[in-house]
Amino acid sequence: MSLLAAALAWALLYDWQSPQRKTPFDSVGFLLLAAALICLQTVLNQGQDADWFNSTGLMGMLMVGLLMLAYFIVWELAERSPLLDLRLFARRNFAIGSLMLSVSFMIMYGLLSVLLVRLQVVAGYTSFLAGSVLLPLIFLSKPMASLVHRVIHRFDARLLVCVNMLLFAGYCYWISRYDFFGRGGWFTQPLWAQVLEGFCLGGLFVPLTTLFLFGLTPRRQIQAVELGGTLRVLGGSVASPLFGLFWERRSAFHQSRLIESFSRYDGFAGDITARLQAAGLHDQLATTKLAAIANQHAAILGLDDTFRLAAWLFMGLAATVWLARPVGPTPPVSGKEEQRQAALEDLMEEP
């Protein structure tokens, strides 16, 4: 699948018949980047099943991927017509803005993938209900993005980014406080939290794009959008394995702690065992049921830890944005320039 994706990307990026192409396509850079991403993505996807550092094959693939990535960076810095203009990282606003966009999108995408699976596995949601929880993201993000685009020139972009990151942190903390143990409503809690995330997602791309395009010429702005979009896609591609791994490790930690605290001499444990036996579950069946309850409890606690980690990461991003140079307020631009800026923002939001 990775080779097929690389072939399709080659076909889409390289316009073989275009008479207006003035710069050659960096095929060496493309092949180096594709090889590095194939190796590193394979390590992330198979690491948990192959026991990470205990797998000689995965460690070899990791070394090859890192070498290809280092070779790609050196090649791009020396190439006259690079696939991605890495020299843009010499500009403070681009470096901070693009990395923040990549990391924030990685966190958001990773949390969504974890939440969707856990709602079905832990909370018993059907696929329809789990998908319905995300409806606010679809209906609120685009109107919010249009609103932010209209008011972005009135504020310092750093302020809007900071507020957005803090709202993301509040959303993550809210999720971590869900009543997954069934004492409250199951559907309305995540649904209302997704309303907040819909507003946050709508306000994510416009101020960050404005931040890292600041001070660039129109030609370099296009290159910056290409590089920023690539980093965003890369962040989304590693999000699910990373956050899934963190959730599994925290769940295993809580499971071991729960098992350690459960003893036949403990009054609470004895009461649960007696109730299970009264319900007709004896000996091995009662033990199996207790293990299932402990696994579910540990999964819930691991999910809470994952969202608390994300809340702290978003708070760190909210502080990081103030390292960038001030951007705005600025006077309103002409209609043609506004259309060009909107086109760049739309290009950044495209998957």
pLDDT, tens only, 277-313: 666 666 666 667 677 777 878 888 888 899 999 999 9
> Among the listed ranges 15-24, 83-92, 165-174, 208-217, which one has the minimum average pLDDT value?
15-24
Mean pLDDT computed over every residue of the chain: 78
pLDDT over 60 (residue 102): yes
For residues 34-56, give the mean pLDDT.
83
**Which pTM value belongs to this model?**
0.80
Cα Rg of the chain (Å, integer): 24
What is the reported pLDDT for 4? 46
What is the reported pLDDT for 3? 47
For the ranges 3-17, 22-36, 327-341, the one whose mean pLDDT is highest: 22-36
Of residues 15 and 289, more confidence is placed in: 289
For the ranges 30-34, 238-242, 324-328, the one whose mean pLDDT is highest: 30-34
For residues 25-35, give the mean pLDDT.
86
Q: CB-based burial of residue 205 (10 Å sphere; 0-12 exposed, 13-18 middle, 19+ buried)?
A: buried
For the ranges 40-44, 68-72, 220-224, the one whose mean pLDDT is highest: 68-72
pLDDT over 50 (residue 229): yes
pLDDT over 80 (residue 100): yes
What is the reported pLDDT for 258? 75
Give which of 49, 42, 70, 41 is closest to 245, Cα–Cα: 49
CB 341 within 8 A of CB 333: yes
